[in-house]
Amino acid sequence: DARVNRILDTTEPLVIGHRGACAFAPENTIPSFQLAIEQKADLVELDYYLSADKTPFCIHDKTYDRTTNANQQWNAKKTKIAAKNWADIASLDAGSWFDAKFAGVHLPKLDQAIEAIQAGSVTLIEHKEGDAESLIQLLKARDWTDKLVVQSFDWEFVARCHELEPSLAIAALGSDALTAKRIAPIVDKVDVIAWNAKFVDRAAAEMVHKHGKKLFVYTVNNTQQAKELVAIGVDGIITDRPGEIGAAIRK
């Protein structure tokens, strides 16, 4: 697809909206994704888990506490994500915790989220839990395999996605020293290395580029830091503030 190819081929720095534009709207919800599109994000990132009855849906944490009203709704703290069926999850309020003006916003199913993002940008799907087979099946059913990017810290999952769908654009996530040895097991199976910005310097960027791969960094909300990272060769900035960061790093 032209849009994902443009992203993988461009030499322009890319702006990736983290959980949407989560500085300004409740993370991993449709309003947050739409805001990231309005702020001209080249890609929009989301996180997904599976419900007990195997519906993939968007949320970041391992429990519902921080980003929903689950505590009140279910009268229970620290409920694990996979403990609930989608019918129960669908009725949670995932907006009020952020701002009263988002009251009644629900957690989106993964396919609803992708649909909303693809309308104006390109999805960067972050897998948190679930098997590669069912994700690839969903992407194939909706003809999305060549139109978006998938990433995970779980490199077995990453490798399995590559095996099942070699044309899928994939990123390997990491958050420790970024060395040739560290990425050796995965680098040939991915298009992008997506790394914690704390561990990225010019030498690391050169090493990733020597492999012919792009380097994205997370999570950068400071415009000066974003400019410096682009100056040392970083190809994409994952940020809660895509509008501001885009204005700072685009020519």
- Report the interface residues with ligand G3P, using CB under 6 A: 18, 45, 47, 60, 126, 173, 194, 218, 238
Separate counts of helices (H) and strands (E) for the chain: 11, 9
* 244 is an interface residue for Ca ion by CB under 5 A: no
Q: Which stretch binds Ca ion (CB under 5 A): 8-16, 42-50, 100-108, 113-121?
A: 42-50
**CA distance linking residue 17 with residue 184, whole number of Å:** 28
Whichever of 47 and 244 has its CB closer to Ca ion, that residue is: 47
Structure tokens at 232: 């040392």
**In this chain, which of 42, 126, 165, 244 binds Ca ion, going by CB under 5 A?**
126
Cβ-in-10-Å burial (0-12, 13-18, 19+) of 232 comes to: middle
**Residues paired with residue 53 on neighbouring β-strands, in sequence order:** none
Which residue, 61 or 88, is less far from ligand G3P as judged by CB? 61
**Which residue is nearest to ligand G3P, using beta carbons?**
218
Range in contact with Ca ion (rule: CB under 5 A) among 36-44, 47-55, 114-122, 243-251: 47-55
- Rank residues 194 and 234 by Cβ distance to ligand G3P and give the closer one: 194
Mode of pairing for the β-strands spanning 56-58 and 43-50: antiparallel
Q: Does 240 bind Ca ion (CB under 5 A)?
A: no
> In which element (H, E) is residue 227 found?
helix 223-231
- Coil, strand, or helix at residue 214? strand
Select from Ca ion, ligand G3P, none the partner in contact with residue 159, using the beta carbon and a kind-dependent cut-off of 5 to 8 Å: none
Chain contacts with Ca ion (rule: CB under 5 A): 47, 126
